[in-house]
Structure 1
C-alpha cells in the first residue's frame, strides 16, 4: 500500500511518531508516541490523510449510510471538520464535559432522534474517549454503528467498541506503520519487535 509507506515515512521524518520511552495520558508506558495534531502543519500530507480516510469510508460503508460526522475535541475534531467539508456532510461534536453555562449541552450541533452518525477520531488506544462520546450520543437517542480512526494503536479499542455495538476501522494501525518503517530501514528490528509485542 503506497499510502502507508509514504505516510509512515512522513510521520517518522517530521517526528510526529517518535520511538523511545514515553508515558501516555493513561499513565501506561509506551515504546513510541504519536501526535497527529502536528499533521495539519503540513498541508500536503494533511490533505492526503483526509483523502485517505475519505476513500476508506467510501469503500467500506459509503457516504449514504450516515447523516452526520461526529467527533471529540481536539485531535479528532480537526480531522472530522476537514473531512466533513470534503464529503459535504454535517458535523457535530461531543464535549468531554457538558457546558456549565448557556444551554449546558454535551453534544454540539444540529441533532435529532434516530440520526445515524459516523464517529471520527485521530488516534485510538483503549477507545475510552470514543466510548464516552458514544454514551452521550445514545443518551440523545442517536445511533453510531461505525467509527474511523487515522491510527489504531491496537491496545483494546476494537474490542471495547465492539462491546458498544460499534465497528472500528482505521486508515493505519501502529503495526502497519512500524512494519513500513522497518522495510524502509528507518527503524531497527528491535524497535519493530517492541511495537509488535505491545499490540493485541
Structure 2
C-alpha cells in the first residue's frame, strides 16, 4: 500500500486532486475534482503508475489471458497506450460515437470475433462511458471481463459494470486517497466527512 500513499500525496501536491466545490461534466456537484490528464506531465510518476497497473493486471488475471488492451478517449487512452507499450500488447479503442466519415466504425484497431480484452480508463464515477464502450465491444463480439481504472470515485461504477458481468478493479479509490491525505494532515476532518457523505449518496 506504500504506492497508494505516495501516489495520493503526489496527486495532492501537484493539484491533480483538488478539494472544494465543483460541478462535474455530468452536471453533478462534487466536493473534489480529480484530473488525471495531468499525470503524464510528470513522467517519473506516470511510469510508476503504469508499472503498478501492469503488475496488478499480471497478478490478478495474467498478461497471457487476454488478446488486447482497450480504452476510451481521451483520459484512459493515454494510460492504455503506455500500458500497451510496457506489456507489448495490441491496443484498440472505442469512440464515444462512431465517426461520421470513412468507415464510420466505433471500435478502432485490429479486432476479430471472440477476442478477449481488458478495459482501461482513468477515473470511474458512475461508469457511464465504460458501460457504453463495453456495449459497443459486445456488438462486435469482443469479450470484456475486467476493467481497470486508476481512481474509483465510488459513485456506482462497480455496480453498473457488475450488471454487464464485468469486474471493476481500481488502483485506488477516493476514500483511500482522502484518508491517506488526512493521516498526513494534508486535508482536515471536514473534507474527509464531505467525501464520505458524497460516497454515501
Aligned to 1:177: 177
Q: Distance in 1 between matches of 2:185 and 2:59?
A: 31
Q: CA deviation at 1:198?
A: 1.6
Aligned length: 200
1:13 is aligned to 2:13: yes
Q: Distance in 2 between matches of 1:126 and 1:12?
A: 23
SS at match of 1:51: helix
Q: Distance in 1 between matches of 2:103 and 2:61?
A: 34
1:47 is aligned to 2:56: no
Q: Distance in 2 between matches of 1:177 and 1:190?
A: 15
TM-score with structure 1 length normalisation?
0.99
Aligned to 1:57: 57
After TM superposition, where is structure 1 displaced by more than 6 Å over at least 4 residues in a row? Answer: none
Aligned to 1:126: 126
- For structure 2, the residue ranges without an aligned partner over 5 or more in a row are none
Aligned to 1:22: 22
1:81 is aligned to 2:108: no
Q: Distance in 2 between matches of 1:131 and 1:147?
A: 10
**Could you report, residue by residue, the CA deviation over 1:44-67 in whole angstroms, capped at 9, with x for unpaired residues?**
000011011111111111111110
- Within 5 A, what are the aligned runs for 1:30-45? 30-45=30-45
Q: Distance in 2 between matches of 1:190 and 1:4?
A: 22
Q: CA deviation at 1:8?
A: 0.5
**Could you report, residue by residue, the CA deviation over 1:54-93 in whole angstroms, capped at 9, with x for unpaired residues?**
1111111111111000000000000000000000100000
Q: CA deviation at 1:196?
A: 1.3
Q: Distance in 1 between matches of 2:150 and 2:109?
A: 23
**Could you report, residue by residue, the CA deviation over 1:138-188 in whole angstroms, capped at 9, with x for unpaired residues?**
010110010000000000000000001100000000011000000111000
Aligned to 1:148: 148
SS at match of 2:136: helix
TM-score with structure 2 length normalisation?
0.98
SS at match of 1:199: helix
1:69 is aligned to 2:45: no
